[in-house]
Amino acid sequence: MEKAIEVTDLVTHYGDRVILKGISFGIPRGKTTVILGGSGCGKSTLLKHLIGLLKPTSGNILINGKDTTVMSEDEFNEVRKKMGILFQGAALLNSMTLADNVALPIREHTKLEEPTIQIMVRMKLDLVGLSGFENFYPSQLSGGMKKRAGIARAMALDPEFLFFDEPSAGLDPVTAAGLDELIIKLRNVFKMTIVVVTHELASIFTIADCVIMLDLGEVLFAGPLDGLRASDHPRIRMFLERKPEEETYSPADYFRFIAGN
């Protein structure tokens, strides 16, 4: 299976604290890969490395065969044009209508004429089920609608990669399920490479083709979803069966991790 993203020996420190401990894995092209793990395991830090918001201490991140860890900011900005990102809070600009929020990256990165931009905006909002809401402001929307609007903006430039940071956070189960179906639709229709950071088990089992599970800064599992389900590793079983953490490692282990030892 072709790898769109390859991570090799990635190490990250926050001060003296080690967050990621030399992790390696691949993300297949055209599939949905879920990065999961408990709170503090390093998954959000990893996402920030993938989208270029943080530089690692050492290691390599190859996107389409090019190492982004050695790129200048201008070089990485060209890579970012192929990325769409949905942050936890949707990160919409409250002073702008939905249409202007979605149009923002198109106006910023293309020289298209305004009538063409407006057509593209309507198409993106229709794609996420928000047709007719062009002139609404974020404050007038529900949480689920804001997330959908954020996806429309992330899709504005027809990206090759789509990254989601906890897309179901703060949503009720029905709304979250609708968002999962939208993620599946985007993968199937556009053949995009999608990376989702989440700890929501229902979403994982619905959307994931592949899974990368982190635990205390290390890769506990990387592979197809069925392999995760079948694993007998005690930490994986604890997570999938929602068992208390004390059953598999001691408090001393956790505090050694926090201290970076």
- pLDDT tens per residue across span 176-227: 999 999 999 999 999 999 999 988 888 999 999 999 999 988 999 999 999 9
* DSSP string covering 63-84: ETTEEGGG--HHHHHHHHTTEE
- pLDDT tens per residue across span 36-78: 988 778 888 999 999 998 899 999 999 999 999 999 988 998 8
32-36 and 3-14 strand pairing:
unpaired
Q: Where are the beta strands (DSSP E) in the chain?
A: 3-14, 17-28, 32-36, 58-63, 66-67, 83-86, 161-165, 193-197, 210-215, 218-224
pLDDT band at 247 (very low <50, low <70, confident <90, very high): very low
Dihedral sign (CA 30, 210, 179, 50): negative
Residue ranges of domains in the chain, CATH in brackets: 3-82+159-259 (3.40.50.300)
Question: Token match 């809401």: residue?
Answer: 133
Rounded Cα distance between 246 and 220, Å, is 17
